[in-house]
Structure 1
Amino acid sequence: MASTTTATLPHPFDPLCPLQIEKAASIVRKAHGQLAYNAISLLEPRKKEMQAWLESPDTAPRPPRLVEVVCVGKCGSVFDGIVDLGKEEVTVWNKLEGVQPILTLEDLVNTEIYVRKDPKVIEQCGILGIPKEDMHKVYVDPWTIGYDERFGNNIRLQQALMYYRQDVDDCQYAFPLDFIPIVNTLTGEVIHIDIPEVRRPLNKIPSNYFPKHIAEDAKAKGKEGDGYRTDLKPINITQPDGVSFKMDGNYIEWQNWRMHIGFNYKEGIVLHDISLNDDGTRRSLFYRMSLSEMNVPYGNPERPHQRKHAFDLGEYGGGYMTNSLALGCDCKGAIHYLDAHFPNKAGAGTVIKNAICIHEEDSGLAFKHSDFRDNSLIVTRARKLVISQIFTAANYEYCIYWYFHIDGTIQLEIKLSGILNTFPMHPDEDTKGWGTQVHPGVNAHNHQHLFCLRMDPQLDGPKNTIVQVDSAPSPHPVGSPENPYGNGFYAKRQRYTNVQEAMSDYESSTTRTWDITNEAKLHPYSKKPASYKLVSRECPKLLAQPGSLVWKRAGFTHHNIHVTPYADDQLYPAGKHVPQTSGEPSLGLPQWIDEAKDTPIDNADVVLWHTFGLTHFPAPEDFPVMPVEPFSLLLRPRNFWLRNPVLDVRPSFVKSPSDVLKGASTPGGLADKMSALAFGAESTRVDLDDEKKPAPGSCCLN
């Protein structure tokens, strides 16, 4: 992924390449000896320095190439450092106390190895009927432990969610085990096992999804063939003339859009310097945009399930867990891929091929109008640019799609798939409403998926204001001079001037939205400020109660909207190092809000934080593998363009009134048919499908 816009120097936003990763590790090794590398990633330039360079790259100083490094010592000590690649020196080095950094793939793999060999675990498996010689059939989902007051945060721990496979191709989540080992990942020891007071048996009935099982199911039902549907015909997506976008390193230009595509180990895709070309004038929209955190709290209050509230970005990393995407499977069409590079434990650069997929898709109608009077018609189809990644967090898949539409709309869509987290149950057990039996002996607990979108707006400049917009009836009663018939309604607007009043939630009764505005940039017609409207309606509240463990740790979920003054190092709303935090004191967004309580946020350089997502009550249809469940939000330009910005997109079909007049000798249009029906012509039949066929003299454009 790390690329260059010149022959020698990477763009300051470009992620690190393998050589830069290894150079940073060698600089740290020379200064501080042998360490295990948890993270080696670009430390983004300070915003003021970067903005100055973006505006004048030929004259302004180039921001230094800095690298953030997180290391773990042999005894578990954690170090945060900054390396200056140009100076080839470690400029910052701090030893942290009571902090555990992000879990790596090596941590996850090793946990399963440790658990399978542990005598206490082998004993518990034997109690459930799994013999010692079958321990290779026992599987572990290594989860962050969240926070457990018995163990604190000075030891690097994971909890191991246990499963079994009778057959190598079985879905292990149909065979959950009822105990949870706690593993010290530094020493490889199982230090404790949580065992329920009431033991649950190991399920014996499989539920599977691989081809051989689909064929077996079909055979059991007396069907022929491999069990797959035969009536789905191929859909081919082709672009014989190639793609419409252009790549210059990690910058992309497409249909007036221009932006830099970055990637890091924690957030995954990071978009910088997003702008639009407005009739020759490039207008800035966002300095930076990313999914900065997410939390998945589970709703079973029985111990130890209270620990299940994973921060999938802050504790595992959306970059570290990203998939290598495959053409024809994850992506279809003419695809441009970007790779991602990360360090291994020894500090060597590794690659995830095809980490980001970039392509175009048809997006339905852009606009259409048909006039019943004269049978004129215009149809223009839309298109969108797709920038996507998919990451796997143990059992779940998160499919992240950034859509950029030709009218200037930004859409973020997330699709959930993968497999439910499961726990065993007795066939007649009462789930108490905390979960659902999705398969005999298999309980899937209620849970939420709460994402935090971090937006650093720069709408026509650095000074922006966030405005809450509610649809509201007129305050004046029926019969009043202002509202004589009682039908008046308007958009009620509230400017946020400080961080306290900006803490707000979605309100469905008023179809609440939020405008990112530049009050100095007024539209010449509407006299309203240029804006980008956040339209987001899937905004569940955190259902864990105030004072609960997850409530204290996930302060960003307390409201759907927060606004803070910009600060360079305020990127992660649950804090930089999330594993095993207790939430006391509050880290991340609550801390920053408290620090900024007297700082104005209107007409200022601000960051808008938006928490959205869904609440999942599992059902049998979600098992053994879950059909994708999508949800999305929009950022739409309002009072930004002079008029409809896609009028210059070539129509798919057009027949103007003058075209109709020229073809007056071809009767039978919609208006003629409607008129004939009105006067009772028995032989005239209205067939709207006729209007889809190009008539003589019409203009049909591809």
Structure 2
Amino acid sequence: MATETKEKHHPYDPLTADEIEHARDVLDAERELGEGIRYVQIERKQPQKAAVKAYEQNGTDVAREAFVILRDSEEKTTYEAVVSLDDAELTSWEEKPNVQPSITLAEFDECERVVKNNDEWQAAAAKRGVENFDLAIVDPWSVGHHLVPEGIDPDRRLAHAMSWIRTSETDNGYARPLDGIHAFVDLDEMVVVELIDRGTKVDNVLTDLEDAKYREEDRDLRDDLKPYNVDQPEGPSWEIDGRKIEWQNWHIRVGWNQREGLVLYNIGYEDDGDVRPIIHRASAAEMNVPYGEKDPNHNWKNAIDIGEYNIGRLANSLTEGCDCLGHMHYFDAVMNDADGEVRVLPNVICVHEEDYGTLWKHTNWRTENSEVRRNRRLVISFVATVGNYDYEFNWYFYQDGSVEPQVRLTGIDSNGLVGPDEDVTSGYAELLAPNVKGMLHQHFFSFRLDMEVDGSDNVLYRRQNQPVPKGPNTEIRWDGQEDVDGLNPTGASFYADKTQLESESEAKELIDPLKGRYWQVEHAEKTNHVDRPVAYKLAPGSNVEAAVQDHSSIMERTGYIKYHLWATPYRDDERYPAGEYPNQNPGGDGLPKWTANDRSLDGEDLVLWYTLGVNHVTRPEDWPILPVHIASFKLEPVNFFEENPAIDVPPEHAIKDIHARREEKYDDPDAVAGSNDD
């Protein structure tokens, strides 16, 4: 039976509500903070890895500190502060000139109010048939850097506000775009600094556009779908101690922060009584959504959703039976609002188990014996809504020792209007509904994986298929050396080439599915029972290359999207691939800057950065709500175990009475013989 207990704080545990209040009180007491102060973040200061290692090995105390980002809207500057929670004192206060922190939820709300009350905006909306301005919705998009209109100081704290109009409070707010209206808002002063109206392609958006209803009460629903119940009468198979999870030999610590959302620490697998480390820290560290449409109403769009908005702050409270099925365990997210007050989002992280088909199977056709095991996986997930889009981040842990980070994209496409004579066959956009288009765009997610494969001394290799020339004396051994005694008379020989990537420049790579390319992280010294280096491989799934050009604003600001793989030696202060403050940043920070030093990767404490890309050519089937688009990759053991680590998973008949359950499920005895519940 699973147990759920409480433990003392681990250094990686997020701040509690009391600690957030404590940090704010210390700041209020030690600094004269004006009315224009906004608390962008109050979070646990990320402790140095060496200090955490010392704590885990010998119990050495780690200072409990709060890291605070503040925006002073009156002084128009940003500050970073560090508060010692142990000593109740402010230990660091630093002004950060010329940076813009992420947009806060309070600024979202205030920006919408300011735009809707603006006379120029109301006049532009009225030209499009809008009478009730209260039914409008306004989303403050980030302005980037290079496309701020001339005449506006790019050093101001800005948002580029886009508008839509509803027909009721519960209507699909994104069905009727007020295309062509662009409001540039100073978020410090909360004023519209410029209103641009490029004109409309539809005379009256209320009468000329269709409803795009999706709510349960607004649709005729299918009546032939039978209940599907996930039943765990004895509870789940995990044990949870505070924020530590143990499940099927996996050991995982669950963390959280406002910027990245879900963070996982100390991911290891128990083998013969020892927990062998695999990943020290894992998260989706950044994401970027560039749009390809040339239409000036949309060609500027490039949201850096994690760094510019703090995706953790936009998380959903998850609901049983909808977001997760079966037996769930939830973790709350304890954060702050712009006033520094505690804001608790309940049930933000969901932990549950899923059946995932066959784990392994073999039928001995000679003896008619069949052995089959069901594949059960642990899911740790959260969902965030960023304006019109919804993103579900799932981390799957499998009984065979593999890990699958996955993103599911859903929600509503960012959209615009189509004029009666506009060409929509060019490939830049596609019709979603009459007069409404969805623009071609891409999504890029940068996953930061602080690897620790059986320890921190790791080496990185590229593996891919390599053909051998046809003929005698040309066979190549697995290690790349020529085998003078070998033959390849049929020309069918090929091998898995193994090339070490010794520096940061060598590790900048794209996927190559035609060659079966993957990357392998090995321990520099440790080997398995057959003297092969213990390793984990990163196996790409579906992916896409960034379509934007090198000299584009997008590539300058988020250069990490140029490659699918990056690798760096671990540094405590290298956490975000587009830099600490990507909002309105001209670019050059993060991975491109760090890797310009071309540091060695040989036997280092390695961090892998994997860029997962999604290409989205919109279609009517994406409207009014986009069916989930799934993208993922896997981390799989290579020579890490002596045999299949899932060989000891019991069959279903060993953990439940199959015959009793059949009799319980079926009223018709004849149906029992035909059931496949085994």
TM over 0.5: yes
- Which moved further from structure 2: 341-350 or 302-311? 302-311
Task: Measure the CA separation in 2 of the matches of 1:538 and 1:478.
Answer: 38
Cα offset, 1:452, TM superposition? 0.3
Whether the 8 Å contact between 2:281 and 2:449 is mirrored in structure 1 is: yes
Letter in 2 for 1:539: N
Given the superposition, is the C-alpha separation of residues 394 and 478 from structure 1 closer, same or farther in structure 2, using an over 3 Å criterion?
farther
Partner of 1:618: 618
Whether the 8 Å contact between 1:18 and 1:348 is mirrored in structure 2 is: no
Letter in 2 for 1:587: D
Partner of 1:358: 351
TM-score calculated relative to the size of structure 1: 0.88
Whether the 8 Å contact between 1:296 and 1:447 is mirrored in structure 2 is: yes
Matches within 5 A, 1:99-498: 99-131=99-131, 134-147=132-145, 148-149=147-148, 150=150, 151-178=152-179, 179-196=181-198, 199-201=201-203, 202=205, 203-214=208-219, 227-431=220-424, 432-475=426-469, 477=471, 481-498=486-503
**SS where residue 243 of structure 1 aligns?**
coil
Partner of 1:509: 514
Cα offset, 1:307, TM superposition? 2.5
TM-score calculated relative to the size of structure 2: 0.91
Task: Measure the CA separation in 1 of the matches of 2:264 and 2:473.
Answer: 52
Cα offset, 1:186, TM superposition? 1.7
Cα offset, 1:212, TM superposition? 3.8
Matches within 5 A, 1:569-580: 569-580=573-584
Partner of 1:520: 525
Task: Measure the CA separation in 1 of the matches of 2:79 and 2:509.
Answer: 37
Letter in 2 for 1:647: I
Partner of 1:607: 607
Letter in 2 for 1:346: D
Task: Measure the CA separation in 1 of the matches of 2:558 and 2:312.
Answer: 21
Task: Measure the CA separation in 1 of the matches of 2:675 and 2:438.
Answer: 52
- Which moved further from structure 2: 103-112 or 449-458? 103-112
Partner of 2:26: 27
Cα offset, 1:440, TM superposition? 0.7
Letter in 2 for 1:229: R
Given the superposition, is the C-alpha separation of residues 69 and 153 from structure 1 closer, same or farther in structure 2, using an over 3 Å criterion?
farther
Q: Gaps spanning 5+ residues in structure 1: where?
A: 215-226, 655-688, 695-699
1:115-165 CA-partner distances (Å, limit 9, x unpaired)? 11000101111221223xx10121112211122343354211111111011
Given the superposition, is the C-alpha separation of residues 690 and 510 from structure 1 closer, same or farther in structure 2, using an over 3 Å criterion?
farther
Task: Measure the CA separation in 2 of the matches of 1:198 and 1:103.
Answer: 29
1:378-410 CA-partner distances (Å, limit 9, x unpaired)? 111121111010000000000111110111110
Task: Measure the CA separation in 1 of the matches of 2:578 and 2:289.
Answer: 13
Cα offset, 1:499, TM superposition? 0.5
Letter in 2 for 1:460: D
Q: Gaps spanning 5+ residues in structure 2: where?
A: 475-485, 655-670
Whether the 8 Å contact between 1:276 and 1:283 is mirrored in structure 2 is: yes
Whether the 8 Å contact between 1:387 and 1:401 is mirrored in structure 2 is: yes
1:492-518 CA-partner distances (Å, limit 9, x unpaired)? 111111111110100121011111111
Cα offset, 1:442, TM superposition? 0.6
Partner of 1:662: none
Whether the 8 Å contact between 2:268 and 2:276 is mirrored in structure 1 is: yes
Task: Measure the CA separation in 2 of the matches of 1:652 and 1:198.
Answer: 62
Residue 530 (structure 1) aligned to one of 524, 534, 556: 534
Given the superposition, is the C-alpha separation of residues 4 and 238 from structure 1 closer, same or farther in structure 2, using an over 3 Å criterion?
closer
Task: Measure the CA separation in 2 of the matches of 1:504 and 1:390.
Answer: 30
Q: CA RMSD in A?
A: 2.0
Aligned identity (percent) is 33
Cα offset, 1:301, TM superposition? 2.7
Task: Measure the CA separation in 2 of the matches of 1:207 and 1:503.
Answer: 43
Task: Measure the CA separation in 1 of the matches of 2:343 and 2:175.
Answer: 34
Given the superposition, is the C-alpha separation of residues 228 and 474 from structure 1 closer, same or farther in structure 2, using an over 3 Å criterion?
same
Whether the 8 Å contact between 1:517 and 1:530 is mirrored in structure 2 is: yes
- Which moved further from structure 2: 86-95 or 472-481? 472-481
- Runs (4 or more) in structure 1 with deviation over 6 Å come to 689-694
Greater Cα radius of gyration, structure 1 or 2: 1
Given the superposition, is the C-alpha separation of residues 693 and 369 from structure 1 closer, same or farther in structure 2, using an over 3 Å criterion?
farther
Whether the 8 Å contact between 1:522 and 1:529 is mirrored in structure 2 is: yes
Task: Measure the CA separation in 2 of the matches of 1:482 and 1:493.
Answer: 21
Cα offset, 1:476, TM superposition? 5.1
Asked if residue 641 in structure 1 is aligned to residue 646 in structure 2, the reply is no
Letter in 1 for 2:605: D
Whether the 8 Å contact between 1:4 and 1:11 is mirrored in structure 2 is: no
Task: Measure the CA separation in 2 of the matches of 1:371 and 1:653.
Answer: 19
Residue 547 (structure 1) aligned to one of 533, 545, 551: 551
Task: Measure the CA separation in 1 of the matches of 2:300 and 2:84.
Answer: 39
- Which moved further from structure 2: 313-322 or 528-537? 528-537
Letter in 2 for 1:49: A
Task: Measure the CA separation in 2 of the matches of 1:135 and 1:478.
Answer: 80
